[in-house]
Structure 1
Amino acid sequence: MNDLDKAIHRSIDGEPAALVAPGAGLKELPEALVNLTSLRRIDLDGNDLEFLPASISNLSQLTSLTLYANQLEEVPEEIGRLALLQHLSLGRNQLASVPDSLWELTGLLSLNLAENKIANIPDAVKNLSALKMLDLGHNCLGRVPDAIGDIPNLTDYLYLSDNGIASVPPALGRLNLLGYLNLTDNLLTTLPPEMGGMAALRELRLYNNRIDRLPDELGDLSNLRELHLMNNRLATLPETLGNLSELRHLDVRNNPLRELPESIGRLERLTHLDLRASRLTELPESVGSLPRLEKLDLRWVKLDRTPAWIGSLRERGCVVLL
């Protein structure tokens, strides 16, 4: 343990409060560590840990345990005894599953299980009633559990990218406090109309899927600021797009878009519009009236004619790329 003494941070009264040793080359936890029962934080990201002992449960004061980028193949059932835990990061390990007891950690605020080999998340995930951030990206899920829609305080982030997910359950629309949703790099072809109920959503990332249509209810996302749709199969966008009054960034590059809705001109806060490599041959006149547009990207778009208003956009400082 002497080798780790410099990694121990102590509280004012001298008690060990945190162990911070990222990238220290550790292959196992020192046996004496579990006797430091006053520890509240452990940060061992980027080590080579292959095993987490059951005695980790002795550290009953832990509020934060981050073991990102290690070599863990399993997590002991005893982790569920860490009743005060608020932040748990097990991303980028070798986990195919996690113990059932993990879903009993009802005080968790953030949970990172990304970049593992997890194929199933049980309905018990809804027990994490305090959770604000959930990262399940880069796993092998195949489907989104309905129960995720029942996590009442999921407000900050939900990452589900790169999982081979083919559909989004309507239950996700119940996350009416969620601010950020990432479903990129999956196999989605459409979205359920219930997603229009995600009233607090500010950023929606859907690029690198197979989406060929969007529901009209997308226009109900009145707080949305960024919409990323790159590399899908969209030929049109819904007329309700114009209802997204807070939208700043719209990226629809590399889609077979043949037309834009005239309502796009109502996006008065839009600053960035990326239409690269679409199949558009003309643009709505209303695009030229977007008052806050700072960048319009039309590279690899074969317009029948260059709109006269392009010059006006440039004159007022908008970058237009043709």
Structure 2
Amino acid sequence: MAESESGQVTAAARIDRCVREGATRLDLSGLSLKTLPDPLDGLIHLSELDLSGNELAALPESLGDLTGLTKLDLSANRLTELPGWVGNLTGLTTLDVSYNRLTALPRSLGSLTGLTGLDASYNRLTTLPESLGDLGDLTGLNLVQNRLTTLPESLGGLRDLTELLLWHNQLTTLPESLGDLGDLTYLHLSQNRLTTLPESFGGLGSLARLQLSQNELTALPESFGDLTDLTYLDLGSNELATLPERLGDLHGLTELNLYGNRLTTLPEWLTELTGLRRLDLRENRLTTLPELLGNLGDLTYLGLSRNRLVTVPASLGDLTNLVELDLDANRLTAVPGSLGGLTHLRTLRLGENRLTALPGSLGDLTGLHTLQLGGNELAALPEWLGDLRDLTSLDLSSSRLTAVPGWVRNLAELAYLHLNHNLLTTLPEWLTELTGLRSLDLRENRLTALPESIELHPLRRNLRLDGNPLD
């Protein structure tokens, strides 16, 4: 029996039982149904109907007679339109039409004034009906991954909305009425085409989490400073060259993402956001850092890779709660010895800089798990690196090494060792003593043969050897 036929049999049996028992819930999900039995008038007592994960391209009109429904799940089908009669289901509190092929929502949707949750994500919606603003009880609205270019001005009528998800659309502007959503706590607008935000944005005074990454923002409205409940702010991958001073009023922030912008300097007020735990400034154009950055003593993550830093302030050593410090791909010729005081550090990335030496104090970072040193100009690698015995990942790529340093033998916890793009001609026999080693990258060296102990070792399967003149 074909899967869809067996699904029809199962569905008929479940419907029959539901009718006989007067059940209020009916689950017909995942049965590969292409059609539904019609009419459905025997199911008038239903309050919850799950039709998700089928192959429905259309819905029977009798579904509109199930006016007792409070929850209807139509997700993951093949629906291209939602019929107007859906407006008859005025008892609905939750409607899920996600993962279909809808290009529009019917105007009659506005009749569902009891709706608290509407999920229309992963469709092909290009516009929304003005009647959407009539859904005054709505608390959650998910419109992720559609093709929306604008939002109706009536959106401001959704005064009870606490969560609005709009990422991965094609929005170029936002309505002024957005600022009327004073109860909104979570707003996700990443991956759109926004170049500006309305001044009314400051009206979103309850916002705790705001995601605006991967847009085309060049400036932020001054009213941003009114969002004093914000704890999480993601402005990554925009085109911001400056930040408004009033951002310094957001003292509740614990995470601030500014990666992938055009910042050349950091404002002093940033150093007053002392509640920050994560600060991501990767991929900007920073040449210097404020000395007062050391005031951010709660930071556990500081991302500064792919900037233009020539030096970093000694005050970074005051960030004693740091777990990860990323300084990869800058123009550093030295790092301050004060970094040796970061005893909670587990990940230190210093790769692709111009370092000629390392301060001996880094030998105190005995809790390090990941150390990235590749692509520098280190004349020699200090022996004390062998004291970092908790290391599980070590990158010494592009370091002009002619031999594997002997101290590597001490790193018994090592799982990942990157020695690619060096000048190695031989490998030591003792590499097989590193029993936890899962990956050894030896690409682009000058190896002509491997020691027999390695050829016969399980490690041999995890060697990357491209670009060597091996026999």
* TM bucket, shorter chain: over 0.9
Q: Distance in 2 between matches of 1:182 and 1:96?
A: 21
The equivalences for 1:28-177 within 5 A come to 28-155=81-208, 157-177=209-229
Residue deviations 1:265-320, cap 9 Å, x none? 1112111000111111111121111121111111112212121122221x344532
Q: Distance in 2 between matches of 1:20 and 1:189?
A: 45
- Contact residue 343 and residue 364 of structure 2 kept, 8 A: no
The equivalences for 1:172-211 within 5 A come to 172-211=224-263
Higher radius of gyration, 1 or 2? 2
What's 2:358 paired with?
306
Q: Distance in 2 between matches of 1:34 and 1:19?
A: 13
TM-score, normalised relative to structure 1:
0.92
How far off is 1:212 after superposition? 0.6
- Contact residue 126 and residue 151 of structure 1 kept, 8 A: yes
Aligned positions, number: 317
Residue deviations 1:63-101, cap 9 Å, x none? 011111111111111111111001111222121212111
- Contact residue 197 and residue 220 of structure 1 kept, 8 A: no
- Change in Cα spacing, 1:149 to 1:239, as seen in structure 2 (3 Å) is farther
Letter in 2 for 1:100: E
Residue deviations 1:145-169, cap 9 Å, x none? 22212211111x1111222111223
What's 2:458 paired with?
none
Name which structure has the greater RCO, CA cutoff 8 Å, separation 6+. 1
Q: Distance in 1 between matches of 2:271 and 2:308?
A: 21
TM-score, normalised relative to structure 2:
0.64
Letter in 2 for 1:158: L
Q: Distance in 1 between matches of 2:317 and 2:289?
A: 13
- Change in Cα spacing, 1:9 to 1:244, as seen in structure 2 (3 Å) is farther
**Other structure's SS at 2:70 match:** strand
Q: Does 1:6 align with 2:57?
A: no
Over 6 Å off, 4+ runs: 2-5
- Change in Cα spacing, 1:255 to 1:9, as seen in structure 2 (3 Å) is farther
Letter in 2 for 1:159: Q
The gaps in structure 1 that reach 5 residues or longer are none
Percentage identity across aligned positions?
A: 38
Q: What is the aligned-residue RMSD (CA, Å)? A: 2.1
The gaps in structure 2 that reach 5 residues or longer are 1-10, 13-25, 30-45, 50-66, 374-471
Q: 1:226 aligned to 268, 274, 278, which one?
A: 278
Letter in 2 for 1:172: F
**Other structure's SS at 1:65 match:** strand
How far off is 1:15 after superposition? 3.9
Q: Distance in 1 between matches of 2:47 and 2:98?
A: 16
Letter in 2 for 1:166: T
- Contact residue 338 and residue 361 of structure 2 kept, 8 A: no
Q: Distance in 1 between matches of 2:48 and 2:98?
A: 20
Residue deviations 1:101-150, cap 9 Å, x none? 11111110011222222222232221101000112222222112222122
How far off is 1:235 after superposition? 0.8
Q: Does 1:236 align with 2:288?
A: yes
